[in-house]
Amino acid sequence: MKYIYILLLLLLVSISCKNETLLTFENLLIEDKTCENCPEVTIDIPNALEKTAISKNINTALQEEVITLLNFDEATNVNSIETAITSFNKGYTQLKDKFPEESTKWKAVINGEVLYENKYLLTIALDSYIFTGGAHGYSVKRFLNFNKKNGAELENWELFNTNFDFEKFAEIKFRIQEDIPQDQPINYTGFMFEENSFYLPENIGFTKEGIQLLYNQYEVASYADGPIELTIPFNEAKKYLAIKIK
């Protein structure tokens, strides 16, 4: 029995040490339905709870993304999610006053989730749907990658040892997934890469399945094609990565 207790103690210590490397989040839920004819705004994003510089940087970056999506009043100093919602409502009101017969109620839905985390890296996905009139709204996903050692948000080029080598490898994988012959131009099957040359997307993030490349709608294909995703398993991508994944 003594050895069983020792093994259980070691297991608990191991689990505790592992959990200490992960940040603690709660959902920050903000809903604004001021009146029946006002825009509908729903925001549900992770909020890091630790009183550390890393948590502060993460929360600030997420809030800045939300503010950018909702800000429709460049003349006003928008420095919080609440003032951004006010800006969004003001934009709708101004349009409605100018074109009362054409204005359709606006809507904004913004959701965030932690996709991947280890002791070195954190990836958060931010999904947004913004409707401000027209035939349809605009959906977009953003990946935010953070260096957990200093809390800095990482640029895409900082994720790789040699960006050009990874880009060539990613093109091979992309062509295989999308059935594009390796000896034909990248737009051979109808894609819309500028100058007919493959390039990495603006959004690159980490998931449990591997590193994900995400081309949002209109980025390299038509709206009807939707977002284009390519996930490369870690065992294939790790030699290109500058960030440790284990």
Task: Give me the tens of pLDDT residue by residue for the chain, a chain 246 residues long.
Answer: 444 444 444 444 344 444 558 999 999 999 987 677 789 999 999 999 999 989 999 999 999 999 999 998 776 778 899 999 999 999 998 888 888 877 788 999 999 999 999 999 999 999 999 999 887 888 999 999 999 988 899 999 999 997 779 999 999 999 999 999 999 999 999 999 999 999 999 999 999 999 999 999 999 999 889 999 999 999 999 999 998 776
> Which residue intervals of the chain bear CATH 3.30.565.40?
17-147
Give 138's contacts (C-beta < 8 A, 6+ positions apart).
Answer: 129, 130, 131, 217
Strands 40-48 and 107-117: parallel
Q: What is the 3-state secondary structure (H, E, C) of 64-99?
A: HHHHHHHCCCCCCCCCCHHHHHHHHHHHHHHHHHHC
Write the pLDDT tens digit of every residue in 186-231. Answer: 999 999 999 999 999 999 999 999 999 999 999 999 988 999 999 9
Quick one: fold of 156-240? Actin; Chain A, domain 4 (3.90.640)
Residue for token pair 């009183």: 51
Helices 53-70, 81-98: inter-axial angle, 10-degree rounding: 0
> What does pTM read for this prediction?
0.86
> Which residue intervals of the chain bear CATH 3.90.640.20?
156-240
Task: Kindly state which CATH superfamily the domain 17-147 is placed in.
Answer: Fervidobacterium nodosum Rt17-B1 like (3.30.565.40)
Q: Would you state the pLDDT for residue 135?
A: 79
Q: Provide the 3-class DSSP secondary structure of residue 58.
A: helix
Q: 59 and 122 in contact (C-beta within 8 Å)?
A: no
